[in-house]
Amino acid sequence: MMFLDYPLMALVVAWIILCVSSVGALGIHLLLMMRAARRPWRLNIEKSFRPEISLIVPTYNESDLIRFKLENLIRVDYPNDKIQIIVADSNSTDGTMDIVRDFAERHRNVQIELMSETERKGKVIALNAALKDCSGDIVIVSDADCFWPSNILLETIPFFSDLRIGAISGPKLLLNVGESWTASMEGNYLGLMSRAALGQSKVGSTILFEGGFSAYRKDILDSFDPYGTGSDDCGTIIKLAEKNYKAILIPEAKFYSAFPTTWKEKARMKIRRANQLVRVLGKYLELLLKGRIKYSRSIITQGIYIYLITPFIFVAFGIATFYLFWKAPYSVALLAIFVIPKIRVYALEAVQSYIVLILSIFSVILKRKFVIWTKPNDRSLVREDILRSKGLI
């Protein structure tokens, strides 16, 4: 009878289970959502729908960018008498508001309002203060370093004619995607996540929202980030999910921004963003357990599993992999799969994301919260020549 190495067999079985439960679960979810993304919308969309819009631009020391941002906004194709622009400043010290005042004076045909805090309290607080002055039926938030194609409102606002839609966001495209390996990897990652979010939107409702373009139906928007997650976009749509409204990401809402070219700055941004996402999903979990969310429960549950549970399973999978290589050296041949460039890129991004998520989960447990509005070091990467080449200003 052939001798069987039962401990090694048990290790292989455990390795397979951990692989499927972590990387496999993520891969299956992405494949299912990308397949769902190809489905047609089942929405009642009236193309001529043109409600009044209030657009909030939160700022803090944006003197290098605010002129470009305002130039970008006045190029957007939408009736001027139906757009209210509110610049909500969080006590800038670099002359940002002087630039805004001068711009508003020179463009009196556009309704531009200024709101400045006397003390810097954070982005969410600035947004909620501006929300009180919003007169439009749709409220849109757009960060100062994000730029829109001119047709974005005409293509996206009609989706709100379907009364089930509570919020809309769009995919982020990088202005400097080819300028560094870090930006290139982020571009691939963002493309994958956007397709997944589109699939989630067509299945039910997405949990992934972007601050570059996040639009909300005002009559159901009580406040930004009502549960104090620290996320003004993903945290805001939690309440909409409680009210059984859909939050969707649509390709027509695409916008452009830059991304840091160094891994250190990327990690800093990722940890801050992941910290917020962990808090958002923690609140979703709490509301699910209390029975307060009825719609899109499967998507939310999948998100909780992928972002809060699989990082720890992945750690166990990593340990099991090293142990397997030690007990059965020939198994190193499995690494041959990384010869395929796309697999190598996505695998590296997955490893980085799992590490960031674990650090973020522990930061939440330790009650470290990113409340004050901090800016990444990517502003200098937004150049006038790039914006003009893409027709954004």
**In this predicted structure, what is the pLDDT of residue 369?**
58
Strand partners, 257: 174
Each residue of 107-155: pLDDT tens digit? Answer: 999 999 999 888 888 899 999 999 999 999 999 999 999 999 999 999 9
- How much is the pLDDT for 372? 45
The predicted model gives 8-31 an average pLDDT of 90
Measured distance CA(112)–CA(133) in Å, rounded: 12
Run of H or E including 83: strand 83-89
pLDDT score at 10 = 87
Question: Which amino acid belongs to residue 209?
Answer: F
For 32-72, write each residue's pLDDT tens digit.
999 999 999 999 999 999 999 999 999 999 999 999 999 99
pLDDT score at 240? 94
Sorted by sequence, the CB contacts under 8 Å of residue 310 that are 6+ apart come out as 21, 22, 25, 26, 354
320/323 Cα distance (integer angstroms) = 5
Q: Name the band, by pLDDT with cuts 50, 70 and 90, for residue 85.
A: very high
Residue recorded with tokens 């089942």: 42
Write the CA distances from 177 to 22, 186, 188, integer angstroms: 29, 8, 9
Could you report the per-residue pLDDT of 336-360, keeping only the tens digit for each?
665 666 667 677 777 888 888 898 8
Mean pLDDT confidence for 13-19: 92
Residues 216 and 161: their CA atoms lie apart, in Å, by 12
In percent, the amount of the chain with pLDDT more than 90 equals: 67
Domain spans, the chain: 18-393
Distance CA 111, CA 135 (A): 12
Residue pLDDT, tens place only, 266-319: 878 888 889 999 999 999 999 999 999 988 899 999 999 999 999 999 999 999
Which has the higher per-residue pLDDT, 82 or 382? 82
Task: Return all residues near 359 (Cβ < 8 A) that are at least 6 apart.
Answer: 271, 274
pTM: 0.90
Confidence of residue 382 (pLDDT cuts 50, 70, 90): confident
Minimal CA–CA distance to 375: which of 62, 116, 57?
Answer: 62
As given in the structure block, the two tokens for residue 52 are 């009044």
pLDDT at 8: 82
| Confidence class for position 157, pLDDT limits 50, 70, 90 | very high
- Of 365, 268, 356, 237, residue with least CA distance to 307: 356
Neighbours of 163 (CB within 10 A): 9
CATH superfamily name and code, 18-393: Spore Coat Polysaccharide Biosynthesis Protein SpsA; Chain A (3.90.550.10)
Q: Coil, helix or strand for 141?
A: strand
Asked if residue 366 has pLDDT above 70, the reply is yes
Q: What digits encode the pLDDT tens for the residues 198-247?
A: 999 999 999 989 989 999 999 999 999 999 998 999 999 999 999 999 99
DSSP 3-state of 193: helix
Residue that is written with structure tokens 């996206």 in the block: 156
User: pLDDT by residue (tens digit) across 327-341?
Assistant: 877 776 666 665 666
Question: Which one-letter DSSP state was computed for residue 253?
Answer: G
